[in-house]
Structure 1
Amino acid sequence: MTAPDVSTELMQMINCYQVSQALQVAATLGVADQLKDGPKPYEIVARTCGAHPASLYRLLRALAAVGVFHETSNKEFSLTALGACLTSDAHGSRRNYARWIGTPGQWKSWGNLLHCIKSGESASDYTHGKDAWTYRKQHPEEQAIFNDAMTGNSRSESQAVLEAYDFSRFSCVVDVGGGQGLLLKEILLACPSARGVLFDQPHVITSAQQLPTELAQRCRLVAGSFFEAVPQNGDAYLMKAILHDWDDGKSIEILRTCRRAMSPKAALIVIERVVGSPNESPDSKFSDLNMMVQYAALERTRQEFHDLLTGGGFELAEVVPTRSPMSIIIGKPMSIE
């Protein structure tokens, strides 16, 4: 067997941004949705998507070459298992995440990764003159795509979290920075006797998805800032993908705000990626680069979570892995002096 050509392998890695952008275009055009019912000629797909036929064919054949679509000899295309994940209604759909990757706020900021590495500063600030949060507020069309992308991530990860951790022990779960409320909804569906509080900024709460009637009776929506105060009287305080958006100083502020609202018997449940050992776990380490680019923030190792929770008034009790990239980090409140 011929040994792999490492130079060619590296070249493929160098050009991965081309695949990312091609996926973004296919997701934006809704190509995968057009192929859900079976193979179609590229001309029909182009007509439905409003694309230039010859150009769309070149896009589809390139993505077929990396396994996203399948091309027949007569230039018809169908979905593969990978391509099915680009459909809007697939379980674990990645369509909205692919759309978000190519938005100017994300794409252009990554183009200034070198600035991050040399300065330690956010590339978003350098690129757009403002942090990523402010940028998206001023570009509501990108904010909407971002919200949909994050909800899609939660949809694919929530089942893994519920399989790995028993939430039925809690009577009231406060989801701090809970966004559109998808994870909290899944917890309430799995735990019929539990109540929930969805807490986030006013503009996020306003856009939160409507809960089914039977869940709406068990869930309150509260607007505010987790730097100031969070709702009291919960026995579990949940934060999914929140702390990685902030540096240690701001993260400790958030944790201390939660600690002030919690009873000594309440639990802190942090759902984040945990950076793995050297030479493995690329998912968490490239996500760490993304946090640096967007927010001058970071993903953390287990030891870094231990130190962070201690600074925020918690003892790290355990770290529970899931079958998704996320882990469940459990904190117990320490005494407030």
Structure 2
Amino acid sequence: MTGTPGTPDPTPSDLNSHRSASPLHDLMYGHIHASALRAIVLHGIPDLLADGPLTAEDLAARSGTQAGPLRRVMRLLAMRGLFREAQDGTFALTGSGEVLRADVPGSQRAAVLLFTGEMFRRSADGLTGTLRTGQTGFDAAYAVPFFDHLGTEPDESRLFDTAMSSLTSGVNEQITRSYPFPDSGTVVDVAGGRGGLLREILTRFPGLRGVLFDRPETVAGHLLDTEELKGRWETEGGDIFAAVPRGGDVYLLKNILHDWPDEDCLRILTTVRRAMDAGTRLLVIDAVLPGDGTPHPAVALDIVMLMTLQGRERRAAEFEDLLTRSGFRLNRVLPTPALTSVIEAEAV
């Protein structure tokens, strides 16, 4: 097809004049990009490119896919900076695309599969109803709360735990470099998942001991069993709304309070406060939204909370209110190079 009758055909420079899609188009096509990314990851395409560029035909033969459709999907993701398409028809991974491989440190494969999977797609589809009723899209779709559902779906629970660990692998180092942990004592990581942050802390501060506390099925897959940390940690399974381990010198709540509405945050904080002596420090590690409406990447995460958990991202004043009402005094908020900040509080 050529241009409009009576007008010249476009020149090559004209053809390249539409490179930048409008923000509106990016939003409209967002689900298409997510589906393309999921398809590429599920077929193992990034792993096939680990040793260098390949053509769509080579990739298709090795992955059991069709070269034509594969080339078109790869071309779309190349526009998003995950792959590089060369003039000879080969595709290569970019630095951004490397983390899609399953076998690299910091792999984001599990995170991609989690957030492009059925649970989050159905939750996002329910946002229209959420605006009308306040009910999360997840609750409307599954008729049970998010974590109750994970408790009955072992495969999805493992994917969730793996994705959370991968998303925070580099963040944990940034946190330990941003906060002055003591040289000795016991750190209790409350709802600490598989223990990635606790492992980073104990590795960096060899005089500390640690307790990892979370759901029994989660701590069973912990990451603490290394020679370097031998004899310096223990795990305990339980319910953060019932009781947490006593006797710690520093308590951690990393990416926990944002999962819950205010009334549940108060229950969690009150439970943690019961386990602490006066003067003991609590570190709440969460994103802190600016109070003046300045754009912040955690605003998107706030929508994830809205559609799945009835949780939310909060401003510093909102954290201070929760802490004060549950027996703590806010000392300071320390930013980190990551999305999260360290909110230091003290039991009073």
- Measured against the shorter chain, the TM-score band is over 0.9
Is 1:47 equivalent to 2:65 in the alignment?
no
Aligned residues: 332
Q: Report the Cα offset of residue 91 of structure 1.
A: 4.3
**Which amino acid letter does the alignment assign opposite residue 226 of structure 2?**
P
Q: Does 1:82 align with 2:133?
A: no
Aligned to 1:271: 285
In the other structure, the counterpart of 1:309 is 323
Aligned residue number for residue 246 of structure 1:
260
Q: In the alignment, which residue of structure 1 is the partner of 2:83? A: 69
2:126 and 2:136 in contact (8 A); partners too: no
- Give the structure 2 partner of residue 318 of structure 1: 332
| Cα displacement (A) at 1:201 | 1.0
Say whether the 8 Å CA contact 2:281–2:344 is kept in structure 1: yes
Pairing 1:103–2:117 present: yes
Counterparts in 2 of 1:2-151, with a 5 A limit? 8-151=22-165
Q: Is the 8 A contact 2:224 2:233 kept in 1?
A: no
Which of residues 291, 294, 298 is equivalent to 1:280?
A: 294
Contact 1:105 1:136 in 2 (8 A): no
| C-alpha distance in structure 1 between counterparts of 2:61 and 2:223, whole Å | 33
**217-226 or 271-280: bigger deviation:** 271-280
Structure 1 residues 169, 193: closer, same or farther in 2, change over 3 A? Answer: closer
Q: 1:217 to 1:58 in 2, by over 3 A?
A: same
Q: Which residue of 2 aligns with 1:233?
A: 247
Structure 1: runs of 5 or more not aligned: none
- Cα distance in 2 for partners of 1:170, 1:123 equals 45
CA distance in 2, matches of 1:111, 1:135: 18
Deviations 1:69-128 (A, max 9, x none): 001123211011211122234444322211111221111111111111211122111011
In 2 relative to 1, CA 114–92 (structure 1 residues): closer, same or farther, beyond 3 Å? Answer: same
| Residue aligning to 2:269 | 255
- Name the % identity: 33
Q: What is the CA-CA distance between 1:301 and the residue it aligns to?
A: 0.7
- Quote the offset at 1:290 in angstroms: 0.7
Tell me what 2:12 maps to. Answer: none
Per-residue deviation at 1:5?
11
Matches within 5 A, 1:161-172: 161-172=175-186
Tell me the TM-score normalized by structure 2. 0.90
Secondary structure in structure 2 of the residue aligned to 1:199: strand
Moved more, 40-49 or 4-13: 4-13
Give the structure 2 partner of residue 153 of structure 1. Answer: 167
Which residue of structure 2 aligns with residue 193 of structure 1? Answer: 207
Supply the distance in 2 between the matched residues of 1:277 and 1:17 (Cα, whole angstroms): 31
Aligned-pair CA distance for 1:277: 4.2
Q: List, as ranges, runs of 4+ consecutive aligned residues in structure 1 with deviation greater than 6 Å.
A: 3-7
Partners in 1 of 2:270 and 2:28 — Cα distance?
42
Q: Which stretch of structure 1 is more off in the superposition, 133-142 or 274-283?
A: 274-283
The equivalent residue for 1:219 is 233
Whole-Å Cα distance in 2 between the matches of residues 33 and 6 of structure 1? 29
Partners of 2:162 and 2:173 lie apart in 1 by: 18
Q: What is the CA–CA distance in structure 2 between the aligned matches of 1:286 and 1:209, rounded to whole Å?
A: 29
Residue 93 of structure 1 contacts residue 156 of structure 1 at CA under 8 Å; is this kept in 2?
A: no
Report how far residue 38 of structure 1 moved: 1.1
Structure 1 residue 211 displacement after superposition:
1.5
| Partner secondary structure for residue 78 of structure 1 | strand
> CA shift at 1:155, angstroms?
0.2
Deviations 1:44-63 (A, max 9, x none): 22233333332222211110
Cα distance change of structure 1 residues 22 and 110 upon mapping to structure 2, 3 Å threshold: same
**Secondary structure of residue in 2 paired with 1:81:** coil
> Secondary structure in 1 aligned to 2:298?
helix
**1:204 counterpart letter in structure 2:** T
Which residue of structure 2 aligns with residue 208 of structure 1?
A: 222
What amino acid sits opposite 1:11 in the alignment?
H
Higher RCO (CA 8 Å, separation ≥ 6 residues): 1
Kept after mapping to 1: 8 A contact 2:283/2:345 = yes
- When structure 1 is superposed on structure 2, of 277-286 and 224-233 the one drifting more is 277-286
